[in-house]
Amino acid sequence: MGAFRSLRSTNYRIWAAGAFVSNIGTWVQRTAQDWLVLTTLTHHSASTVGIVMGLQFGPQLLFLPWTGLAADRLNQRKLLIATQGAMAVLALALGLLTVTGVVQLWQVYLFAFLFGTAAAFDAPVRQTFVAELVGDADLANAVALNSTSFNAARMIGPAVSGLAIATVGTGWAFLGNGLSFVAVLISLLLLRAGDLHANPRAARKRGGLTEGFRYVWARRDLQAILVMLFLVGTFGLNFPIFISTMAVSVFHVDARGYGLLSSIMAIGTMSGALLNAHRDLPRFEALAGGAAVFGIGCALAAIAPGYWLFAAALVVIGIAALTFTNTSNSLMQLSTEPAMRGRVMALRIGVALGGTPIGAPIAGFVADHFGPRWSLGVGAGSGVAAAVVGAYTLAKGIHRDALHHRRRPADQPLRP
């Protein structure tokens, strides 16, 4: 089976099918939301797009102790049903406001924060849930295939969104995303409970909220990964700002041209995900290398003289970004005790995305006052800085801590 070995699991196939449909809807909404703010509710204000991003990703850091604890203590399938249902309702409500023509900027701010809150509780459980679907033996492969699905949807979603915006309007893109959640909700209901590789739930005890912080504080390898994630996540993963401002202000294309750029970048991210799916185990060297290539790709995009050369640079950025994020995910999960995974992954997501309220407004400010190309230069610097941290970690041998803590895959699946 090679790169697709996780698909041998019936539960994983069911989950992957529903998640793929929902992922397409997510990318449709992300593209439409950025376009709505940039061209309808403001006059090409990249700073405002940055504020919306900050409100949407800020809850990842704001609710950090509770999101990880919920993933470790609660029934993961029931929690996913609750979070996915909440996001469906929010997407439908924003769609109705937009279709009826009454949407205002403050409402987009509010919905971005509420959607981000639901996503903050959804993300750590969704990332650790794959271990219940396939077990530890195929965990790294399942993580890579999840990213492949997400980025295949990233190829389709922005193009569909651009077409929808140009033909029927932005509000219908939001409504379509709301309906797409039905697919993942059905898949969660169809999973075979008896075939799940259930991990132990964390015991209820005092200090549970801070236990994840103490666990990471004792692990230099995890600290190094989190520093690298903070640098790239805060200052580098601001693609809605980078791509939208370059499309509108530099290349002067319409919604379809903007959506095409996002889809082209997804070719790179999907390629990176498939490359990672072939690897049996993640390596720290790939993490450091991904950060370095990410920085180089952003620099090439910043100096690209034309639309298509910029698009080509986005492919390089996509491959590097997926190599970096997937490797960090697999490294942290496989070297963490099962009962701690939810809290450690919540901390990972909080660091990677929680810095967005800092980085996105900065990227928007730089794009507004110095130009989109300089904003991409900030992203390039983040990749180089993360690569330096990675090189230091390798030189000092700190990365070997992950090998010491890595768990052997269980011979038999754990049962509830």
pTM: 0.71
pLDDT digits (tens, 9 = 90+) for 393-409: 998 887 666 555 554 44
- Residue ranges of alpha helices (H) inside 248-303 are 255-277, 284-303
pLDDT digits (tens, 9 = 90+) for 30-66: 889 988 998 888 888 888 888 888 888 888 888 877 8
Q: What is the mean pLDDT of residues 196-212?
A: 61
Sign for the pseudo-dihedral over CA of 69, 73, 78, 80: positive
Query: In sequence order, what are the residues at sequence separation of 6 or more whose Cβ sits closer than 8 angstroms to the Cβ of residue 335?
Result: 221, 222, 401, 402, 403, 405, 406, 407
pLDDT band for position 351 (cuts 50, 70, 90): confident
d(CA 24, CA 4): 20
Q: What is the mean pLDDT of residues 114-125?
A: 90
Please determine, for residue 416, whether its predicted confidence score (pLDDT) is greater than 60. no
Q: Do 201 and 298 contact (CB within 8 A), yes or no?
A: no
Q: Helix or strand or coil: residue 238?
A: coil
Residue 241's Cβ-side half-sphere holds a number of Cα atoms within 13 Å equal to: 36
Please give the residue that has the higher pLDDT: either 291 or 275.
Answer: 291
Please determine, for residue 133, whether its predicted confidence score (pLDDT) is greater than 80. yes
Please determine, for residue 382, whether its predicted confidence score (pLDDT) is greater than 60. yes
